Amino acid sequence: MLAHPTFAQAYPQVTQRIAAQAAQEPAWRLWAIQGSRLWAAAPVLDATGLTLARRVAHQAAWTLDALCAALPADVFLWLWAAPAVTAAWQTWIQLATQVPSVAPTQTLQLTAGAHAALSRLQAWDPVLGTNAPADPGAVLTQVLQGLAVVPVTTPAQPAATPLKPVTVTADLSLVALATRELGDPNAWPAIVAANALRPPYISSRLWDVYGPPLAVWSVNAPANGPWPSVPPLTAGATTVTLNNIFPFWVQPGMVLVAEQPTATGRQQEVQTITAWNSDTLVATISPGWQASYQAGALLGLMLSPQQQLSQVLQPGQTLYVPQPGAIPADRPAPTDLYGTDLALDPTGQFVVTGTGDLATTSGPANVLGALARRLATALGGVPLQPTYGSRLADAVGLPVGQATALRSYVLQALRADPRVAGVPQVTVRVTGTVVQITAQIQIVGRPGAQTLATQVALT
C-alpha cells in the first residue's frame, strides 16, 4: 500500500474522467495559462491592451461558466472545473478595476481569427441563450490560442493639437458644437476623441456619469421585478446589503449610484464603497446616504472615475474642442448623418413595397421615426444599451407635477440623439394612460424645425 498516494493513484477513475473532460474542452487548460498571463500583465498594460484584456476575460468567464453548468452531475468534475470559473471572474474584476498604467510596457494582440471568434462570443447572450455558438468552448479556445502579450512599441509623438475650452451646458449638443466650431456637423467624433467621451457624452444624470453599471438593483422591489431587490436606503445609513451578486464582483473603491424619480426630475447621489464583506454581502459606504430611497429607486454598482477609460461630462465642466486646422484634411468623407432604416407604419408594422420588398426611410423622416421609438422604449429596456430610451414610465402614479416630469423626460430623451440640434417646443397631454407628445425638432444641418407627433402608452 502506498504511504503517500497521489490523487491520480488514489482515485484513478476520477482522474480519467477529469482527463477526458479536459481533452473534450481544451479551453479549461488554455485559460489556466492565458488567464494567468492576463492577471500578471494587467498592471503594465496600455489602455488599448487593457480594454482588449477586459473583453477577453469577460467572455472567458461567461463561457467557462456555461461550460461548468453543462457538466455531468459529478462532484469531482465540478470541484475540478469550478476554480477555473472563479478565476475567470476574478481576472475580469481585476482587469475591470485596473487603472491604466502611466508607463505601460505591455499590450495585447489578437490574431484576425481570434478577433472574429471574440466577436462571436460577444454576440452570444448566455442568459437569454440568443446567438449561441454551436461549441462555445471551441470558440473560446480559438480566442485564447490567438492571444499574445507583447511589448509596447512607442510611436512617434504627434504635434500637440490646439484645443479650445468650452463650458458644458445642459442643452449642449456635440453635433451643434461641431457645426459651430468646426463648420462640419459630421466632425463631432473629433470632439469625442479629444475628450475621451462615451455615450451619452453630456448628462446631468449620475447614472450616466459614473456608468455603465456593473450590476443593478431595484430598491424594495417585488420578487418578480426585472432587477434583484435591496432593502430601502435610509438617510444616514453607512451600509448597504447587495443581494444576488457574485461576491468577487465588488471591490473597495467602486461606487454606488442611487436614483429615484421625483415630480421635478430625479433625486440622486453617489457613494464610495470603503469596505466589502463577501460573506454577508454588506458594503460599507462613505460618507453615508444623504437622502432616503424607497420603492421605485434604482441602485447601480459602478467603477470609480479613476478606473474609467472614458467620461461623460456634466453641465458646468469644461469640454475641449480641436481647432479646424487640427483635423486631418484627408479625413474620410462624412457618412449619412440621418441614417437609413426600415420603414414602419403608424401601428409599428413593416411597410412592404409593391414589389414585395421591405420599404426604407431616410433623411429627417428617419430621425423623427427614431425619436418616436426612443420615447416609446423604457430607459434601460434594451440589453447592453442602458442609456437608450425614455423615463416616461417613471411618471406613472406621481401625485403632483406629472405633466412637468413628463415634459422633462421627453426633453431628456430627444436631446440624447446626436442628430437633434435643439427642441424649442414640447407639448405633453395625458389622456388616461396615454401620453400624447408634440415637439418641434431642430435637426442638425436642416433649416427650420420638424414636427414630431407621437403617443406613448404608460403601462
Q: What is the CATH number of the domain that holds 230?
A: 2.40.30
Q: Are residues 29 and 169 in the same domain?
A: no
> CB of 229 within 8 A of CB of 111?
no
Sign for the CA dihedral angle at 302, 306, 309, 314 comes to positive
Q: Is 331 within the bounds of a domain?
A: no
Helix axes 75-96, 12-24, angle to 10 degrees: 50
Provide the number of structural domains found in the chain.
4
Q: Are residues 187 and 289 in the same domain?
A: no
- Number of other CB atoms surrounding residue 126 within 10 Å: 16
Q: Is 333 within the bounds of a domain?
A: no
> CB of 420 within 8 A of CB of 414?
yes
What contacts 348, CB < 8 A, 6 or more positions away? none
Q: Are residues 35 and 131 in the same domain?
A: yes
Q: Are residues 377 and 447 in the same domain?
A: yes
Whose grid coordinates read 435591496? 230
Q: Phi/psi zone of residue 363: left (φ > 0), alpha (ψ -120 to 50 degrees), beta? A: left
> CB of 261 within 8 A of CB of 395?
yes
- Number of other CB atoms surrounding residue 286 within 10 Å: 10
Decide: helix, strand or coil at residue 179: helix
Q: Are residues 239 and 197 in the same domain?
A: no
Angle, vertex CA 193, rays to CA 386 and CA 175, nearest 5: 75
**How far apart (Å, rounded) are the C-alpha atoms in residues 374 and 383?**
14
Q: Phi/psi zone of residue 273: left (φ > 0), alpha (ψ -120 to 50 degrees), beta? A: beta
Q: Is 283 within the bounds of a domain?
A: yes
Give how far Cα 72 sits from Cα of 10, 17, 85, 127, 136, Å: 22, 11, 16, 20, 17
Q: What are phi and psi of 434, to 5 degrees?
A: -110, 130
Q: Is 335 within the bounds of a domain?
A: no
**23 is in which domain, residue-wise?**
7-151
Q: Are residues 183 and 319 in the same domain?
A: yes
Q: Is 415 within the bounds of a domain?
A: yes
Q: Are residues 190 and 256 in the same domain?
A: no
Q: Are residues 430 and 369 in the same domain?
A: yes
Q: Are residues 197 and 296 in the same domain?
A: no
DSSP characters over 224-241: TSSS-EEPPBPTT--EEE
Q: Is 406 within the bounds of a domain?
A: yes
Q: Is 289 within the bounds of a domain?
A: yes
Q: Are residues 381 and 298 in the same domain?
A: no
Q: Are residues 297 and 316 in the same domain?
A: no
pLDDT of the chain along its 459 residues, tens only? Answer: 445 555 455 556 656 665 666 566 778 778 878 888 888 888 888 878 888 888 898 888 888 888 777 777 776 665 666 777 788 888 887 787 776 776 788 888 888 888 888 888 888 877 777 888 888 888 888 899 888 888 887 554 445 557 889 999 888 888 888 888 887 777 787 888 788 888 788 888 898 888 778 888 888 876 666 778 888 899 999 999 998 887 777 888 889 999 998 887 889 999 999 999 988 899 999 999 999 998 888 999 888 777 676 788 999 999 988 876 544 444 443 445 677 788 877 777 777 777 777 888 888 888 888 898 888 888 767 765 666 788 887 766 655 456 677 887 888 888 878 788 788 888 888 887 788 899 999 887 777 788 999 888 876
Q: Are residues 374 and 267 in the same domain?
A: no
Q: Which CATH number does the domain housing residue 382 bear?
A: 3.10.450.40
| Cell numbers at 78, concatenated | 465540478
Q: Is 157 within the bounds of a domain?
A: no
Domain boundary residue among 151, 179, 197? 151
